[in-house]
Amino acid sequence: MITGRFFAAGADRRIAITIFILLAAAIIVPLLNLAVSPASAFYVPSYIVALTGKYLCYALLALALDLVWGYCGILSLGHGAFFALGGYAMGMYLMRQIGSRGVYGNPLLPDFMVFLNYKELPWFWYGFDHFWFAAIMVLAVPGLLAFVFGWFAFRSRVTGVYLSIITQAMTYALLLAFFRNDMGFGGNNGLTDFKDILGFNVQADATRSALFAASAVTLALAVFVTWAIVGSKYGKLLMAVRDAESRTRFLGWRAENVKLFAFTVSAVMAGIAGALYVPQVGIINPGEFEPSNSIEVVVWAAVGGRGTIVGPIIGALLVNAGKSWFTGVLPEFWLFALGGLFVAVTLFLPKGIVGMWDAWRGNARALRAASIAEEAGTDPDVPAPPKIVRSAARTPGEWSTSGPEPQPAE
C-alpha cells in the first residue's frame, strides 16, 4: 500500500522519541526520588512515583487495546478482564509471599482463607509461591483466555458490535465469578496487604522506584513490539482486515488467524500491565473486571488517538492525571468534567490528540493515512474529507470503521 511508506516515514522518529523518553524516565525518576534530598526542588516524592507508575500500567493497557482496536478493528470491551487476570496472578504470588506474617500467622493460607474456614490451599493456588510460576501465569492465563475466546469468536465470524458485546459479557461474567467468595480469590476484598516482592518490601521507596522503572521499561518494550508488529508485513495484514475483512479473505488470507494473533498478543500485554499494576497500588479486587473500566480504556485510546502507537499512551496518561487532579480539586463535579471531556473529544477531536496534532503540523495527508478512519486503498492525493462529516446511519450490525464517507449498501 502506498500509504504504508508515508506512515513509516512519519512515525519512526516519534516511536524512537517515545522509547527514549520512557527509558530516560525509568532512570531519572528513581534517581530524583532516591538520591535527591526531599528539600530539593528536583525531588520527586514517592507519592508521585507510585502514581505515575500506575499511569504507565494504564498506558500499557491502552496500548494493548489499541493494537486490536486501532490496528485490527476489533473493539474489545473486555480488555479490563485480561488486565485483571494478570493482576490476580501477580496478586496470588504476593499473597503467598506474606507467609506467616498475616494477622493469623498461618504460614500457608492467606488471611481471607483462614477466616472463611478453608482447611487447605485450593489447588489453583499451588505454584504461586514461586515468582517464575506466577510470571508464566501472568502471560499464560490472559493469553490462553484470549486465545480460546478468540478462536471461537473469530472462527464463527462474530464481528463488530456482537464481538464487543460478548467481550463485555465475558468480563461481566468474570466480575461476577470473582466476586464469589467460594471461588477462593478473596471475593470483593480481593487480594491485599502485600508485604514482599522478590524479597523486597513493596512499601519501600526503592522497591517503588524499581517497579516504576520496570513499568517504564516494559512500556518502552511494548511500544517497540507494537511498532515492529504494525510495521511488518503482518501489520499490513492487520490493517487490511480492519479496513476490508471480506476482501482480505477473498484474497486468500485467513482473517481469523490474523485477528487471533493480535488479540492474544494484546491480551498478554494487558496481563503484564495488570501484573505491574498490582504491586504498585497494593490491591487487586474484582472491581477491575467492571465493564465500565474496560470502556474507560477505550476512552483513553480514543482521547489519545487510536491507530497510533503514541496516542493511547498520551491518552491514558492525560485522562488519568486529569482524573487524579479533578477528584481532589473538584470532588463533587469531576464527573461533569470527565463526561464533558469524552463528548468534546469525540466531537472536536475525532482522531484524538495525536491525530489533531498531526493535522496541525501540516503533513496531515501523509499521517492521516496511518490513522484509522481512512478507507483502505484511498489515494493519498485525494483531499481529505472534513473532520466532521454527516454520513449515513448505516444498517445495524455494521461496525467496520471504514471511514466517514457514506457507503452504499453494495
Partner 1 sequence: MAKTAKRPGEFLLQSARTQNSNSSGIAERMILLRALGLMLLFLLANLLPANAAEADLRAIIAKFAAAANFSATETVVRELAATGDPLVERPLAALAEGDLYVRKADSLVFVGREGGDSVELLDPLSGEKSGEAAKGDITKIKVNNTLRRVIRDALGTLTLRAKDPAVRIAAAATMFKTPDAANIEPLDAAIAAETDANVKALFEQARAASVLVSDRPEADKLAAISLIGARGDRDALSLLTSVEANSQGAVKDAATAASGNINSTLAFWDAGQNIWYGISLGSVLLLAAIGLAITFGVMGVINMAHGEMVMLGAYTTFVVQEVIRNSFPGLFDWSLVIALPLAFLVAALVGLAIERGVIRFLYGRPLETLLATWGVSLILQQAVRTIFGPTNQEVGNPSWMSGSFDVGQLAITWNRLWILVFSLCVFALLLYVMKRTPWGLQMRAVTANRRMAASMGIKTPWVDALTFALGSGIAGIAGVALSQIDNVSPNLGRGYIIDSFMVVVFGGVGNLWGTLVGAFSLGIVNKFLEPYAGAVLGKIVVLVLIILFIQKRPRGLFALKGRAVEA
Partner 2 sequence: MRGNFSTITKMVSAGMVAAGLLMSVQARAADDTIKVGILHSLSGTMAISETTLKDVMLMLIEQQNAKGGLLGKKLEAVVVDPASNWPLFAEKARELISKDKVAAVFGGWTSVSRKSVLPVFSELNSILFYPVQYEGEESERNVFYTGAAPNQQAIPAVDYLMSEDGGSVKRWVLEGTDYVYPRTTNKILEAYLKAKGVAAEDIMVNYTPFGFSDWQTEVSAIKKFGSAGKKTAVVSTVNGDANVPFYKELGNQGIKAEDIPVMAFSVGEEELAGLDTAPLVGHLAAWNYFESVDTPENKKFIADWQKFIKNDKRTTNDPMEAHYIGFNMWVKAVEKAGTTDPDKVIDAMIGVSVPNLTGGYSTMMPNHHITKPVLIGEIQADGQFETVSQTPGLVMGDEWSDYLPDSKDLISDWRAPLSCGNFNVATGKCGGKGTN
Q: Which residues bind partner 1 (CB under 8 A)?
A: 75, 149, 152-153, 156-162, 164-166, 168-170, 172-173, 176-177, 179-180, 245-246, 291-292, 295, 298-299, 302, 332-333, 335-336, 338-343, 345-347, 350, 373, 388-402, 404, 406, 408-410
- Among the listed residues 21, 24, 42, 104, the single contact to partner 2 using CB under 8 A: 104
Q: Choosing among partner 1, partner 2, none, which partner's interface includes residue 122 (Cβ < 5 to 8 Å by kind)?
A: none
| Binding segment (CB under 8 A) for partner 2, from list 107-115, 149-157, 241-249, 344-352 | 107-115
Q: Choosing among partner 2, partner 1, none, which partner's interface includes residue 117 (Cβ < 5 to 8 Å by kind)?
A: partner 2
The CB density around residue 188, as the number of other CB atoms within 10 Å, is 11
* Nearer to partner 1 among residue 57 and residue 174 (C-beta): 174
* Nearer to partner 2 among residue 10 and residue 287 (C-beta): 287
Is position 43 an interface residue for partner 2 (rule: CB under 8 A)? no
- Closest by CA position to 140, among listed 320, 275, 311: 275
* Residues in contact with 210: Cβ distance below 8 Å, sequence separation at least 6, in sequence order: 30, 200
Greatest CA separation for the chain: 71
Q: Are 262 and 72 in contact (CB under 8 A)?
A: yes
Instruction: Report the alpha-carbon distance of residue 313 to residue 210 in Å, rounded.
Output: 20
Q: Are 364 and 358 in contact (CB under 8 A)?
A: yes
CA dihedral 319, 320, 321, 326 (to 10 degrees): 80
Please state the closest distance from residue 52 (CB atom) to partner 1, in A.
25
187 secondary structure, DSSP code: G
Q: DSSP string covering 327-343, please?
A: HHH-TTTHHHHHHHHHH
Is position 184 an interface residue for partner 2 (rule: CB under 8 A)? no
Distance, first Cα to last Cα, the chain = 24
- Among the listed residues 4, 99, 160, 187, the single contact to partner 2 using CB under 8 A: 187
Q: Choosing among partner 2, partner 1, none, which partner's interface includes residue 231 (Cβ < 5 to 8 Å by kind)?
A: none
If binding means CB under 8 A, how many residues of this protein chain bind partner 2? 48
Applying the rule CB under 8 A, the residues between 324 and 343 that interact with partner 2 are 324, 327-335, 337
Q: Are 385 and 405 in contact (CB under 8 A)?
A: yes
Binding site for partner 2 (CB under 8 A): 45-47, 50-51, 54, 100-107, 111-112, 114-117, 176, 179-181, 187-190, 192-194, 203, 281-283, 285, 287, 324, 327-335, 337
